Amino acid sequence: MLRTLAWTLCLAIRLALPASAQTDSSTGGSAGQLFTYRDAILAGSVIFTARLVHPLDDYYARRLQDSSTQQNKKLQALATFVRTTAAPGSYIIGSTMYLTGRVANNRKMASLGLHGLEGLLVGEATATVLKGIVGRQRPFVRPLDANNYKLNRGFSGGNDYRSFPSGHSVAAFAAAAAVTAETSRNDPSSTWYVAPIMYGGAALVGISRMYNNQHWASDVLIGAGIGTFAGLKVVRFNDAHPGNRADRLFLTGSLTPAPDGGHTLKLSLVPGKLLGRP
């Protein structure tokens, strides 16, 4: 499972780099297109890999629920930490970065936080709809029954039947993709250490959901694909449409010099567009 997930992550990073590393001047060509052939390759590779892993869902679930593995206190603590970091941590971190960027008038930080949140919302919305439609049971409901699906059961059967895809994996990979793409645009040389850290952390989130017996392996792989796709699409859209309405209709904040020589914090819930501010 780890080798399979690592291979998928390497492919995702490699396919994302050419578009992500380009600067704002690249609104034409492939960076100006919301969907490219690389997206088809990425989507096809994730689906193909998940299909290969699907018959092994029961096997991986059984291995991770082994008593010796479950009794390991360090693994329990790590699983709790990475799960919490993904959700709600990703939303808290993204919101904090956005607000800090607006208050400090740091456009790059604000953009990173805002677009990361947008990627999370797009990915989570997609995952929520799929969870309801697919209606796959979670591993703890009936162990070693990975083929238990029922159309639309996720909407009526409750959380026990919303296993596919993994929402935490979607959130983690959406944040990883958005952050990697944004930092690659601002500083292309940072990609080679930011991408492994972000995607590696996201992979741990997915594995932690399997360790906690909340998801099957194929749930995690598809969640990783959805999250990566959502994060990349949000950043690419905003690169191709600078100054779009969504970027202007959020909290406006700044630190301005005060008459006494200090600084005054000004916050407003009025859309920045109406105030004539960027």
pLDDT at 137 over 60: yes
Beta-bridge partners for 132? none
Q: Tell me 264's DSSP state.
A: E
pLDDT, tens digit, for every residue of 48-62? Answer: 888 989 999 999 999
Mean pLDDT of all residues in 226-241: 88
pLDDT at 109 over 70: yes
- Confidence band for 187, pLDDT divided at 50, 70 and 90: confident
Question: Which pLDDT belongs to residue 12?
Answer: 56
Secondary element (H or E) of residue 267: strand 263-268
CA distance 200 to 99: 26
Evaluate whether residue 91 is within a structural domain: yes
Evaluate whether residue 167 is within a structural domain: yes
Evaluate whether residue 276 is within a structural domain: no
Mean pLDDT of all residues in 110-136: 94
pLDDT at 21 over 70: no
Q: What is the pTM of this model?
A: 0.81
Evaluate whether residue 81 is within a structural domain: yes
The phi, psi pair for 3, rounded to 5°, reads -65, -40
Instruction: Give Cβ neighbours of residue 218 (< 8 Å, ≥ 6 apart).
Output: 50, 51, 53, 54, 57, 146, 164
Evaluate whether residue 183 is within a structural domain: yes
Nearest alpha-carbon partner for 225 in 201, 194, 193, 202:
202
Range of the domain at 117: 2-11+37-252
State the amino acid at position 239 in one-letter form. D
Q: Any idea how long the chain is?
A: 278
CA distance 125 to 115: 15
* Number of domains present in the structure of the chain: 1
